[in-house]
Amino acid sequence: MKILKLLRTSTFQLAIMYMVLFASSVFILMGFIYWATAGYMSNQTDETVEAEIIGLAEQYQRQGLNGLISVIRERVARDPNGKAIYLFTARDFIKLAGNIDKWPEGGDVQEGWLNFNLSPELGWHKEQIHPARARVFIVPGGLRLLVGRDVSEFMAVKQLVERAINFGMAITFALAMIGGIMMSRSTARRVELINSASQRIMTGNLSLRIPDRGTNDEFDQLARNLNEMLDRIVTLMEGIKHVSDNIAHDLRTPLTRLRNQLESTMMKVERQSDREQVAEAVAEADQLLATFNALLRIARLEMGGRVANFTSFNLSELVSDAAELYEAVAEDKNQKFELSIEENLTITGDKDLLFQTLTNLVDNAIKYTPEGGAVSLQLRKTKEHALIEVNDSGIGIPEDELDKVFGRFYRVAKSRSLPGNGLGLSLVNAVIEMHQGKITLTNNLPGLRVEIKLPQHVSIPEKELKTA
């Protein structure tokens, strides 16, 4: 899988393009060397044969037929084991002179040149079969003269050059491939390091930063720019949180006084209509106080201020209490309430916060499910986690908004007509993160499915735990 992933990287594709360009350049260079070397040796052989034919023709013109035969015999006698090939025959191919006995048959004839193999059957003095190249010259009177050369050395050099080119190309491709993979792996590791850090940051670990190697290359520059951007984003986010938290903290006290004054006023008002208006104002003040209190609770949770309240408790009993509390509410809306609890499941955590979280989710499920619908609450155990599921058949959440509802004050458009402040799921998410758990929202079609995965043992210092 890693190799396939590497092959799909743009770095490896760029390395392949470079490899093809480099190999093409090497191929052209070696092709030129082959053409120059083989072509030069071939031309030298042909020119040598042509020169010998011209010399023999001049001897024939001066001395006639007997003189030509004498010259050929003299050359053969002078160098009997040489590479020159001579055969002078009559009309019926009977040998008159030369160092081979038979006229070669089945050779390749190209533009007056005859390519054939020398063998002992032709009367050649060597036992091995050698390639030869010769020119045929017709002497007046129907006589035939064959003049050529043993080109075995030329063919050996040609094959050597061809093998060198083949091995050179293979080595070039292999080295280019190895270099491309090494360069791609090095670059891919740097990119993967940035991607891995970015993914962990996107999951909520905003304190994490992308490491650099200190080489001051483009990757280090990119890492520094991203880290500076993250620092700026964190500063802005903390500023926004502090503003909302300070507003909630500063306004909670005067709002509480206002609410108490309204309640005192309501007790003194005699007219029923006026009392109802004041009661509505008290309810609005209670809603505002609940919003501010929720903001402050979220802030405290995100700062980790409740870890000291962690205890070991029976989660099965907690879920059962929440179900008992809301089962009657579901019956009032003519809803089917299903409960499935695995007994004696114990975890470590803040019992009160988890109870608030659970009741918040069950309350939402009942509130957003119409009459005649269904709500279910389940608790089961895995090897290391406790799984809580809250399912309903209500209005659900659009797929593209499932991750947005955990933001503060975010509300789905079709739920704005119902009471709420958009902080419930933000508070739930903060509690779950404090317990090192995970919450997942998926659509039931219709309705919503909420799954909470809580570790049975939270990794916090033992000195901060209380025993139940």
pTM: predicted TM-score of the whole model, two decimal places: 0.45
pLDDT value of position 117: 83
Residue 326 pLDDT greater than 80, yes or no:
yes
7-16, 152-161, 364-373, 384-393: least confident range: 7-16
pLDDT digits (tens, 9 = 90+) for 376-393: 999 998 888 899 999 998
Tens-place pLDDT, residues 109-127? 676 788 888 877 777 777 7
Share of the chain above pLDDT 70, in %: 82
461: confidence class by pLDDT, cuts 50, 70, 90? very low
What is the predicted pLDDT for the residue at 464?
Answer: 43
Query: What integer pLDDT is reported at residue 25 of this predicted model?
Result: 80
Q: For 218-302, CATH number?
A: 1.10.287
Whole-number Å distance between alpha carbons of 68 and 147 = 13
Write the pLDDT tens digit of every residue in 350-362.
Answer: 888 888 888 888 8
- What does the pLDDT look like over 42-71, one tens digit per residue? 788 888 888 888 888 888 888 888 888 888
Task: Give the pLDDT mean for 436-452.
Answer: 86
Q: Give residue 96's pLDDT band: very low, low, confident or very high (50, 70, 90).
A: confident
Taking 50 as the threshold, does the pLDDT of residue 16 lie above it? Answer: yes
Q: Residue 100 phi/psi, 5° resolution? A: -130, 155
pLDDT (average), residues 215-235: 83
**DSSP-based three-state secondary structure for 102:** coil
Q: What topology does CATH give the domain 307-464?
A: Heat Shock Protein 90 (3.30.565)
DSSP string for 397-424: --GGGTTTTTSTT---GGGTTSS--S-H
Alpha-carbon torsion 346, 350, 356, 361, what sign?
A: negative
- Looking at residue 468, its pLDDT comes to 34
Give pLDDT, residue 162. 81
Q: Is the pLDDT of residue 417 over 60?
A: no
The reported pLDDT for the residue numbered 397 is 82
Backbone φ and ψ for 132, nearest 5 degrees, come out as -140, 155
Percent share of the chain, pLDDT over 90:
3
Q: Which of 163-172, 295-304, 370-379, 458-467 comes out lowest in average pLDDT?
A: 458-467
Q: At what angle do helices 272-302 and 424-434 cross, to 10 degrees?
A: 30
Task: Return all residues near 244 (Cβ < 8 A) that are at least 6 apart.
Answer: 295, 408
pLDDT per position as a tens digit, 267-279: 777 777 777 787 7
Supply the pLDDT for residue 413: 53
Least confident of 152-161, 231-240, 399-408: 399-408
The pLDDT-based confidence of 3 (bands split at 50, 70, 90) is low
Higher pLDDT, 316 or 292: 316
Cβ-based neighbours of 340, under 8 Å, separated by 6 or more: 376, 377, 378, 379, 380
Q: Determine the pLDDT at residue 389.
A: 92
Quick check: 340 pLDDT over 80?
A: yes
Q: Tell me the average pLDDT of the chain.
A: 78
**What CATH class is the domain 2-156?**
alpha beta
Which band of pLDDT confidence, cut at 50, 70 and 90, is reported for residue 265?
confident
* CA-based nearest residue to 38, from 132, 151, 135, 114: 151
The domain locations on the chain are 2-156, 218-302, 307-464
Give the integer Cα–Cα distance in Å for 35 and 459.
Answer: 74
Cβ atoms 146, 134 nearer than 8 A: yes
222, pLDDT greater than 80: yes
Q: Can you read off the two tokens belonging to residue 362?
A: 């069950």
pLDDT at 144 over 80: yes
Q: What is the pLDDT of residue 391?
A: 92
- The answer to whether residues 416 and 401 touch, using CB atoms and an 8 Å cutoff, is no
pLDDT for 465 beyond 50: no
Euclidean distance between CA atoms 347 and 84, whole angstroms: 101
Q: In 10 A of CB 314, how many CB atoms?
A: 15
What is the rounded CA–CA span in Å between residue 40 and residue 47? 10
Higher per-residue pLDDT: 230 or 407: 230
Q: Above 80 in pLDDT, residue 322?
A: yes
